[in-house]
């Protein structure tokens, strides 16, 4: 009998029963007030007159009217660079103890994003809230006694003057609560290994010693880890070695492109729970099984604003034009893509995180990530978002009975001076590229009227090259690194695409 599991499950259920229903709109008003109050006497707060904003009758309007949008380059150039010079109280009281290194999908160079103690606490609290939300999923008591595999970045953080640096998954894993360490795998020693291949090898070596009930990490790297364990132990599927694996907590990217290849590694279906943890904070998590949408964390250190996703509001580099209108949670609607703007307890203010989202349930503040502003392909008016591309990949998987975990695209001008969409699609199967291109073109025409119009005018055609998925992983290794928070760029500019094509040729 799972005595400890029953106790933990009982606590979760009691907490859920006696916790009052959260009003996300009211919670956001309180978060904004607290952020402005705490940062009032920082250099940023004094410059943008937070004291006057706090005296206004409409905090949200006064805040958006006074403080401009910032992307990483702008806030780093104007404010955050001062932290690296040893200054304090710049955009948040005190000095950050951590900086999250994030190259994301953009390249080798790392952004340095402040992570304050208040943000560490906020991430922990969001994680606890997600655990309490498991009461909605009705897991058996045994589940709460199993170990949890968290495959992120190395927890061996690097000292840099007066702070520590590493990817956000490494920072959070190095700050896990003491009571959780008995459940946490691969454990502190293996988690510190910087080389991803060596870390995964150690995981495979120790896999038989663990009773894993849940795994967490970015889908592409989780798949490679599972494949390594399966191959090393000569298994048919991962449940032969971890029979009690019930939950996969996804994050970082949309899970849908990986669903088919991920499920092929399982012996039976498991519960997939989406999360939205970025270098800038823990934004949202899936709180109930009736939907795969995620609930924004509206009461815990992050204030959200939303800009309707329209081409006229987006600069070529993916940043917002200065006068793009924002709205609060009180005024959002379903079936509309929004650029997500955040202000946080780490001193990010009206910060363009680069993601686009849509609301599936306004009252519950539930969202889905629909893409990246930099990956919004609008050459000759095609207006393709990443979610439309992901949907097309799933359609191809069904039509050709294949698995497509990775892809990338570029709008290229051909030798005839016409524009083409050039796709590289990852699949292990022998498919006819012309047939795939025709089917892909047809799916996108059906799903996107702007794409259909563009194909009748300035967008000449679609080209497809099929390559092994491993090439995408090696590209990440060559240009950034393996594992951690690294994600494949779905849309490339022409100069980057030339490097990509040369790399693909070198791998043949």
For the chain, the domains span 1-373, 376-507
For the record, the structure tokens of 323 come out as 């006068």
Name the residue among 449, 321, 433, 329 with its Cα closest to residue 373: 321
Angle at 221 between CA 477 and CA 368, to 5 degrees: 115
CATH topology of domain 1-373: Rossmann fold (3.40.50)
Angle at 457 between CA 449 and CA 467, to 5 degrees: 75
Q: Measure Cα distances from 343 to 88, 92, 137, 306, 419 in Å.
A: 19, 11, 31, 12, 39
Distance CA 150, CA 222 (A): 9
CA distance 278 to 252: 7
Instruction: Tokens for 318, please give them.
Output: 């993916």
Tens digits of pLDDT across the chain (508 residues): 344 444 444 444 555 554 557 899 999 999 999 999 999 999 999 999 999 999 999 999 999 999 999 999 999 999 999 998 899 999 999 999 999 887 544 444 578 899 999 999 998 888 888 877 777 787 777 877 888 888 877 777 888 888 888 887 788 877 777 666 777 888 888 888 888 889 999 999 999 999 999 898 888 888 989 999 999 999 999 999 999 999 998 876 778 778 888 999 999 999 998 888 888 999 999 989 899 899 999 999 999 999 998 878 877 677 888 899 999 999 999 988 899 999 999 999 999 998 889 999 999 999 988 877 766 666 555 567 777 888 888 999 999 999 998 998 888 777 777 788 889 999 999 999 999 999 988 888 888 777 787 777 777 888 999 999 888 888 887 776 666 666 788 888 888 888 888 998 988 7
pLDDT at 390: 86
C-alpha distances in Å from residue 60, one per residue of 21, 104, 363, 486? 23, 30, 19, 34
In angstroms, rounded to a whole number, what is the distance separating the alpha carbons of residues 155 and 479?
21
In whole angstroms, give the CA distance from residue 171 to residue 327: 32
Q: Which helix (H) or strand (E) holds 148?
A: strand 147-150
pTM of the model: 0.80
Instruction: Provide DSSP, 186-230.
Output: S-HHHHT---HHHHHHHHHHHGGG--EEEEES-HHHHHHHHHHHH
Structure-token pair, residue 324:
């793009």
């Amino acid at each position: 009998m799972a005595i400890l599991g029953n106790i933990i499950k009982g606590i979760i259920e009691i907490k859920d029963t006696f916790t009052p229903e959260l009003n996300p709109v009211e919670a956001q008003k309180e978060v904004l007030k607290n952020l402005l109050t705490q940062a009032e006497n920082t250099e940023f707060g004094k410059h943008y007159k937070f004291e006057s904003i706090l005296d206004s009758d409409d905090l949200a309007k006064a805040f958006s009217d006074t403080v401009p949008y910032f992307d990483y380059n702008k806030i780093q150039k104007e404010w955050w660079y001062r932290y690296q010079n040893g200054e304090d109280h710049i955009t948040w009281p005190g000095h950050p103890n951590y900086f999250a290194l994030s190259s994301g999908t953009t390249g080798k160079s790392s952004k340095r994003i402040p992570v304050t103690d208040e943000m560490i606490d906020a991430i922990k609290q969001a994680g606890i809230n997600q655990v309490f939300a498991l009461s909605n999923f009705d897991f058996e008591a045994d589940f709460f006694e199993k170990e949890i595999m968290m495959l992120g970045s190395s927890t061996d953080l690097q000292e840099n003057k007066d702070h520590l640096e590493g990817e956000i998954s490494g920072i959070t894993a190095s700050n896990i609560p003491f009571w959780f360490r008995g459940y946490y795998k691969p454990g502190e020693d293996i988690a510190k290994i910087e080389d991803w291949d060596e870390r995964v090898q150690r995981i495979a070596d120790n896999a038989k010693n663990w009773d894993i009930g849940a795994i967490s990490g970015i889908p592409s790297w989780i798949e490679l880890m599972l494949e390594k364990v399966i191959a090393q132990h000569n298994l048919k599927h991962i449940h032969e070695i971890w029979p009690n694996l019930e939950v996969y907590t996804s994050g970082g990217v949309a899970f849908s492109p990986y669903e088919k290849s991920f499920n092929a590694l399982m012996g039976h279906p498991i519960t997939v729970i989406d999360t939205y943890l970025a270098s800038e904070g823990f934004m949202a998590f899936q709180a109930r099984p009736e939907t795969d949408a995620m609930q924004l964390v509206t009461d815990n250190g992050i204030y959200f604003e939303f800009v309707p996703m329209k081409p006229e509001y987006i600069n070529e580099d993916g940043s917002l034009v200065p006068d793009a209108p924002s709205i609060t949670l009180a005024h959002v609607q379903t079936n509309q893509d929004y650029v997500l703007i955040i202000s946080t307890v780490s001193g990010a203010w009206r910060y363009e995180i680069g993601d686009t989202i849509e609301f599936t349930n306004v009252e519950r503040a539930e969202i889905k990530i629909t893409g990246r502003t930099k990956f919004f392909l609008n050459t000759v008016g095609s207006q393709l978002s990443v979610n439309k591309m992901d949907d097309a990949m799933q359609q191809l998987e069904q039509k050709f009975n294949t698995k497509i975990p990775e892809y990338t695209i570029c709008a290229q001008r051909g030798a005839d001076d016409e524009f083409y969409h050039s796709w590289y699609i990852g699949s292990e199967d022998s498919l006819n590229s012309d047939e795939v291109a025709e089917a892909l073109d047809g799916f996108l025409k059906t799903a996107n009227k702007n794409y259909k119009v563009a194909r009748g005018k300035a967008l000449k055609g679609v080209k497809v090259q099929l390559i092994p998925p491993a090439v995408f992983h090696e590209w990440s290794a060559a240009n950034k690194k393996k594992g951690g928070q690294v994600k494949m760029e779905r849309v490339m500019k022409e100069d980057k695409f030339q490097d990509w094509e040369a790399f693909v040729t070198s791998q043949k």
